[in-house]
Amino acid sequence: MKTFGYVRVSSKEQNVARQIETMKAEGIGELDIFIDKASGKDFDRPKYQLLKQMVREGDIVVFDSITRMGRSMNETMSEYEWFVKNAVFLRFIKEPMINTGNEQEDIMKQAIQKIILTLLTAFAEKERDEIRTRQAEGIAVAKKRGVKFGRPSLAMPKDWEKYYKQWKAKEITAVQFMESLGMAKATFYRKVKEYEAD
């Protein structure tokens, strides 16, 4: 029997340190902690899929919360059942009432767990939808106020127009244009696109 930990955050910017410390406190070594930085909307996550390949009957997988497993009600319940059917025990630190164990043969316990699991995964999906709605509303409001999203536009370098006209008149090459302004190729062509779009 081996114990694994699974850690997930929704984006690369989010920190996994707290969840990792929680797993270590459970006695799980770093090599047995699987980490994904991906949305919980589905289960097409590399480390999660690797974890499923690694686990064997009698192993334990620890999650900080059911939301770290997933945020889609039907898919999360299906994944939960996969572990149960494969005799892999699940432990949820924040929701111990849905932990699985040797007492799973108790049909009443299974029924109660299924009800609780349904509620928890439904709330997780609803919360995810609300977060997306709030983000979309926030972006819409910010855009109305003139806030621009994405990579900020670089100011046009000094003498840009002079070299641009020479380049367009075929008096200089694109390489000479870039070198004159000390620009990288990708930046140069991005600035040309911006300039010509104005």
Assess whether 11 carries a catalytic annotation. no
**Active site residue: 10, 39, 65, 180, which one?**
10
CA dist 73 and 78 (Å) reads 9
User: What are residue 63's DSSP bridge partners?
Assistant: 6, 92
Contacts of 198 (CB under 8 A, 6+ apart): none
Residues marked active site are found at 10
